[in-house]
Every structure is written in C-alpha cells, then in structure tokens.
Amino acid sequence: MSETLHQNEDVEILASEDPGVGLPGRVKLPGYSRTMGPQTHLFAERDRLQGLRWQHFDVQQLSPTVGAELIGLDLTQELPQQVIDEIQQALWDYKVIFFRDQPITSEQHVSFASRFGELEIHPFLPPNTETPELVRFEKNDKAGGYENQWHHDVTWRKTPSRGAILRAVEVPPVGGDTLFVDAHAAYGGLDQETKDLIDDLVATHDFFRAFARLVPDEKKEEIREQYPIVEHPVVINHYQTGKPLLYVNRIFVTGIKGWEEERSFALLDLLCREFEVLEYSCRFKWEPNSIAFWDNQAVQHYATSDYSPQRRVMERASIKGSQPARG
C-alpha cells in the first residue's frame, strides 16, 4: 500500500461509476443560465460529415460539424469546373474550408473567388491598392485588431455577402487565430421556448454601429441614403441547404423591430451568447499562404486580437449574396 493511499484511508469514496451516468443530457448550473453536458443535437450532423467522401481532394475535419482542411489542391492553377463544383459542395457541408501552402497572387485570389460568384466592394475598409476587390487588413503597432467579436460579415447590407475568401499575407509568430462557429448548431442549442419566441422576429442592422467615425459629417446624410438601416429575420434559412440559422450579432444589430431598447438588447445578448458555446466552433491557426473560405450565412467568425503590436496582414475577397429570408 502506498504512503499516499495510507494517508487517505479515511476518505469515503461515494462514486462507483462516472458522474455522468444517468444525467439527462445537458443540465443547468445551479444559479446560472448556462448549461453543461453533451451537445447531443450535433451528433447526427457529425456522423453525416464523417461519412462523406470526395473525388478531387482529401479532407481533415477540424471539429464535429464545422471546419475542414481540403488537402491535395493547387490554387495557383486554374481548376476544372468539376473541381470548383466539389469545393462549393464541401463549403456547403463543412461551412468553412481551409487550404494550406497556397502562394497565390492577388490576381489569382480574385480569379479563384470569382469562380463562386460576383465579388463585392466594401465601402468602409481599405482595399489592396492594385486590386479593389480585395479588402486589406493590415494590423500593426498603430492599428489593433477590432474584429474579435462573433459576427457574420456586412449584415448591414440588404444583400450581405454569400461567402468570403481570406488569405494570410503575413502572420505573427504567435496568436492571430480565427475561430468559426456553426450558426445552425447555435440555433439548435436554444430551448424550444426561445425558438418559438424568435422564429418570427426581425432585427435591424446598421453600418453606423461599426463605421460611423469613418464617414465625414458632411457626407453622413448621403451615405445613410445609400446604406439605410436594413431588416433581417432573427432566424433565416440557408439559401442552399434550407437549414435554420441564428442570424444576429453584436457588431451591426441595433435592436429587435417593434421592441423597446432594453428588452431588445437583453434578448440579443442571450442569443449572441449561444455562439460562444465551444462545441459549435473550430479554430484555425494561420500560416503564410493559408486560406479560409467561409459560408457567410452558415457561420460567424471571430478574429483573435492577441498579437499586437506584431504585424498581421490579410486580404479578403467577398462574394455577393442574396437577401436573407425565413422559410
């Protein structure tokens, strides 16, 4: 008998099996609103994705329902249409896909992105000077990262982008990862009472929440006319798969239509916290010439801001989308 065991002989061990045996799925922490336990609503999608097979590339999943690296493709070459079609299907299935070691030029970046639809120009972010279709995020000791909040891109547009392709130009030695979260899993994690409450609600979205300081006072009226406050359902159906998706974020949403402010933000904060459940997300560690291609309806993303004052330079092409809808 070991000395340690001898010293603890007076401890009565009450457990004969794992404490999880017999618990009914997720349980609430006493006194708190959050729950703990297995996310059983993910299991069917997890099993479906694990059964997929692909003709033109191999796949390494990053998490059970969201995120996969596509292996065996060379994006410096013009790909046949059947390969593009299979990449598109992989995007619909995994919601965000990644490519490593792709030393493409800005022109090749635009050319590849254009295979999936018409590209949009962002009015409030600086472009690559030679390629206006590419937004350039250049972080350094003078410009910190302020994208560290879960969000879908440009929901202040009447027709937010369908997808985005982000390329790492320069990455810090440590930090600067991007996380992606499954908006269908977030919706599925809500209790039925909350789903019933939000299924017919509409949220208002406004670019002013994030970009007002970039607009000169004398142009505010003109820009407001060009980009008015828009309304999108709190829950939308994916334009391709039809899956219900939670579609609110803290960056651009100004409230729930018809609700007073305090009640609006209480509900919005509750919904946005659902995106913070780790089981719904994957995390991507960037390397030079890495690429992420995400479905801007199916996922939200979060760029960690833990590398300042080191440099992080990324370029993004965004693909025009359609107006989000419910049903």
Q: What is the pLDDT of residue 6?
A: 56
Q: Is residue 120 part of a domain?
A: yes
Q: What is the pLDDT of residue 122?
A: 87
User: Which tens digit of pLDDT belongs to each residue from 90-147?
Assistant: 999 999 999 999 999 999 999 999 999 999 988 887 777 678 899 998 888 787 787 8
Among 149, 236, 142, 146, which Cα is nearest to 186's?
Answer: 236
Q: What is the pLDDT of residue 221?
A: 86
Q: What is the pLDDT of residue 2?
A: 54
Please identify which of the residues 93, 153, 182, 295 carries the catalytic annotation: 153
Among 186, 156, 154, which Cα is nearest to 271's?
Answer: 186
Q: Is residue 11 part of a domain?
A: no
Please identify which of the residues 122, 152, 205, 301 carries the catalytic annotation: 301
d(CA 241, CA 137): 31
301: annotated active-site residue: yes
Reported as type and span, the H/E element at residue 112 is: helix 106-114
316: annotated active-site residue: yes
Please identify which of the residues 162, 232, 238, 316 carries the catalytic annotation: 316
* pTM (two decimals): 0.93
Q: Is residue 1 part of a domain?
A: no
Q: What is the pLDDT of residue 154?
A: 95
Q: Is residue 38 part of a domain?
A: no
Q: What is the pLDDT of residue 8?
A: 60
Please identify which of the residues 109, 122, 151, 152 carries the catalytic annotation: 151
114: domain CATH number is 3.60.130.10
Q: Is residue 270 part of a domain?
A: yes
Q: Is residue 18 part of a domain?
A: no
Q: Is residue 20 part of a domain?
A: no
Residue ranges of the chain with pLDDT lower than 50?
1
Written as six digits, the tokens of 207 are: 């670019």
Q: Is residue 205 part of a domain?
A: yes
109: annotated active-site residue: no
Q: Transcribe 235-261 into DSSP letters.
A: EEE-TTT--EEE---TTTEEEETTS-H
Q: Which domain holds residue 158?
A: 54-319
Domain count across the chain? 1
d(CA 73, CA 214): 39
Collapsing DSSP states into helix, strand and coil, what is residue 149?
Answer: coil
41: annotated active-site residue: no
Q: What is the pLDDT of residue 170?
A: 95
Q: Transcribe 44-62 into DSSP letters.
A: HHHHHHHT---SS-EEEES
